[in-house]
Structure 1
C-alpha cells in the first residue's frame, strides 16, 4: 500500500449542523424539521458540489421560508460553530502515518468552496497532507466517479495501491467499484486495526 486517501468530515473533523442549531432551537423536534425540510442534506450537498453558493442560496431560502429567516442566515454567518473540532483519535492516526514517512497522504472531501477557508484556518493537521481535493472547488462531489478519477490523475496514485477512508457508505461502494482498497469509517480503533493489518502502522 503506497497511499492513504482520507475523507475529512466525519473522519477527521466532527462536523454536524446540530452543533450550531441546538443553540438556536429550544425544541429539538423543530430543529430536526428545519434540518430535514429547510436547510436539508441535499441543499447542503449542492453547496459541496459547487452547484450553489451561499450568496444566492441563503436569500433564496429566506424568501421561501420567511419564518426561518434568521435561522437560515445562521447557516453561513455562524457556520464555524458546526465544526465541534477535530476527531482527536483519528488525527493521532494521521500524525503517526505522517511520522512514518513511507506513505503518501491525501484528502478528498465534500466541502463547499465558501466554507473551506474556515477549515484551513482552524485545523493545523491539514498540513500533513501532500494535497487536498475539495469538491466545491472542482464542482464535482463524491460519490461521482469523476471526482475519484480526478484525485487519482492529479495526485498520481494507483487506486489499487490506495486505501480510501470515508464514513459514507455510498462513497465507499463507489471507490471499491473503481479498484480502491476501502475502509468504511465508524470509529478510530477499527481504523487503527485495519492500518496495522495493511502494514501501514
Structure 2
C-alpha cells in the first residue's frame, strides 16, 4: 500500500451535516410533499448548478418561483434560510481531522462542491476549517466534482501527488473519478470505518 502524505477531505456528508431536509421539515407538514419539492422543484441538479456557479440565486430563485408559484415562499427559503440546512459538524470525522492536525504527519486539504454564495456561512460556522492548509471551493472555481478538471486543479494548486493523496468523499461518482486519476480513495460511510482505514494506512 502506497504511503499517504496528504489527506483530501470532502466537506458535505463527511465533515458537515448538510441536508435541505433540516430546513424543509420545518416548512412542510407533509413528508411526501417535502420529498416532491426536493426532487422536482429545488432538486439536486438545481443545487449542483449553484455549486459550480452555473446558477446564481439572483436569477435562479425568481425563475423557480415563476415555474412553481405554489411554492413561492418555500423556494425563497432556499436562499433566505439556507443556514438552517446545516445541522452542524459530523463529530466523529471532526475529531479525526483534529487528531490528524495534532499528529502533523500528513498535509490536510479540502475539496468541496459548495456555492460561493453560501460558502461564507460555512466559514462563519465551522471553526475546524482552520485545520486545513487549503480549501478548494467549486463555486469559486466554476468547476465541480466529478469533473476531472477540478481534481487536476486541486493537485496543481496545492502541489499534491495523487498517488500519495487519500481522497475522502461520500459520493461514489466522485470517488470513482478520483480513483481513475490515480488518487487513493475512501468512500465515506461513517467515521468508524474511516478511522479503521486511516489506521490501516498508517495515517493515524
TM-score (norm 1): 0.99
Matches within 5 A, 1:1-20: 1-20=4-23
- Partner in structure 2 of residue 23 of structure 1: 26
Answer yes or no: is 1:121 the counterpart of 2:124: yes
Cα distance in 2 between the residues matched to 1:114 and 1:36: 22
Unmatched segments (≥5 aa) in structure 2: none
Would you say how many aligned residue pairs link Structure 1 and Structure 2?
201
User: In the alignment, does 2:99 pair up with 1:99?
Assistant: no
Secondary structure of 1:141 counterpart: coil
In the alignment, does 2:164 pair up with 1:165? no
- CA deviations 1:41-95 (Å, max 9, x no partner) are 0000000011001111001111111110000000000000000000001000000
Distance 2:96 2:52 in 1: 28
After the TM superposition, which parts of structure 1 deviate over 4 Å for at least 4 consecutive aligned residues?
Answer: none
What is the alpha-carbon distance in structure 1 between the residues aligned to residue 91 and residue 193 of structure 2?
Answer: 15
Asked whether 1:50 is paired with 2:53, we answer: yes
Give, in whole Å, the separation in 2 of the partners of 1:133 and 1:180.
17
Structure 1 position 70 matched with structure 2 position 70: no
Cα distance in structure 2, aligned partners of 1:15 and 1:53: 19
Distance 1:91 1:66 in 2: 40
Relative to the length of structure 2, the TM-score reads: 0.98
The match for 2:154 among 147, 151, 156 is: 151
Whole-angstrom CA distance in 2 between matches of 1:162 and 1:98: 16
Matched residues in 2 for 1:17 and 1:57: separation?
17
